[in-house]
């Protein structure tokens, strides 16, 4: 079948291994110090690896390729868990800046002293929609917050009011290329998401992040409770 799949330019690849770390399906590995697509049927064509590559060595192409085999990928992950080797790990370690990590802050911590910074409510890394994998342990049973980049700067209590107890995904449809719909659809489809909150600014360009979330909800085929909160430029919640 002809489908969208990644292609790696070995001349541009610097061998950092960031793409192999970002590919949770295990489709990419390191061969002779360079990244390589190991199996077509492990590549889902969503491109988590693209933003992780610092040299732009990875692109999408349309070519004859085996269909994505989700069952084979899941079986590989199960085998990796049984042998206590993370399926998304790579020999080179990958780029620390985009490596997936659950932070799990204490939800019931005491208030911070007056001379110290309040505790962050961020529960995972990364947070950018473009960098997040479509499957991760922290998504299971999660409440999702999809927030426009500017919202956290508009409201001082953003961590406590919106991020606390939620997995945070941020983006700006005006600055990022492409649409978030496909990525968000796969996150909702592949994980047990309990509820979804979208926080946007009142400005028109923020409509893109709301539309992507709404389209993803429809395309996921799931019924998930959701809400949209709109902030004014002064940080007030608009009715």
Residue-wise pLDDT for 184-226, tens only, equals 999 999 999 999 999 999 999 899 999 999 999 999 999 999 9
Select the CATH number that applies to the domain covering 2-95 from these four: 3.40.50.720, 3.40.50.10800, 3.30.70.20, 3.40.605.10. Answer: 3.30.70.20
DSSP string for 60-77: EEEEE-PPP-HHHHHHHH
pLDDT confidence of residue 117: 61
69-91 pLDDT, tens digit each: 988 888 877 776 554 444 444 44
Contacts of 2 (CB under 8 A, 6+ apart): 62, 63, 64, 65
Domain locations in the chain as residue ranges:
2-95, 101-108+118-238
Angle between helices 207-220 and 181-190 (to 10 degrees): 40
CATH 3.40.50 holds for 101-108+118-238: no
Nearest to residue 183, comparing CAs of 226, 140, 227, 128? 128
Residue 160 three-state SS: helix
Query: Phi, psi at residue 220, to the nearest 5°?
Result: -70, -25
Contact predicate 217/198, CB 8 Å:
no
The per-residue pLDDT for 106 is 47
| Residue-level pLDDT at 98 | 58
Quickly tell me which residue has 């190991």 as its tokens: 38
């Amino acid at each position: 079948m002809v489908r969208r799949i990644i292609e790696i330019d070995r001349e541009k690849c610097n061998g950092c291994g960031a793409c192999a770390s970002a590919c949770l399906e295990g489709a990419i590995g390191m061969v002779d110090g360079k990244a390589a697509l190991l199996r077509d049927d492990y590549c889902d064509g969503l491109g988590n690896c693209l933003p992780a590559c610092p040299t732009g060595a990875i692109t999408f192409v349309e070519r004859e390729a085996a269909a994505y085999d989700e069952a084979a990928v899941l079986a590989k992950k199960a085998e990796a868990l049984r042998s206590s080797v993370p399926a998304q790990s790579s020999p080179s370690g990958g780029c620390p800046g985009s490596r997936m990590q659950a932070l799990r802050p204490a939800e019931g911590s005491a208030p911070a002293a007056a001379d110290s910074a309040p505790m962050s409510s961020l529960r995972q890394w990364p947070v950018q929609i473009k960098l997040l994998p479509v499957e991760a342990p922290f998504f299971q049973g999660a409440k999702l917050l999809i927030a426009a980049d500017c919202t956290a700067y508009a409201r001082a209590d953003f961590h406590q009011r919106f991020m606390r107890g939620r997995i945070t995904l941020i983006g700006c449809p005006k600055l990022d290329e492409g649409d978030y719909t496909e990525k968000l659809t796969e996150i909702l489809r592949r994980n047990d998401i309990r509820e979804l909150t979208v926080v946007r600014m009142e400005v028109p360009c923020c409509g893109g992040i709301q539309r992507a979330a709404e389209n993803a909800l429809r395309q996921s085929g799931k019924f998930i409770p959701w809400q949209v909160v709109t902030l004014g430029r002064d940080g007030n919640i608009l009715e």
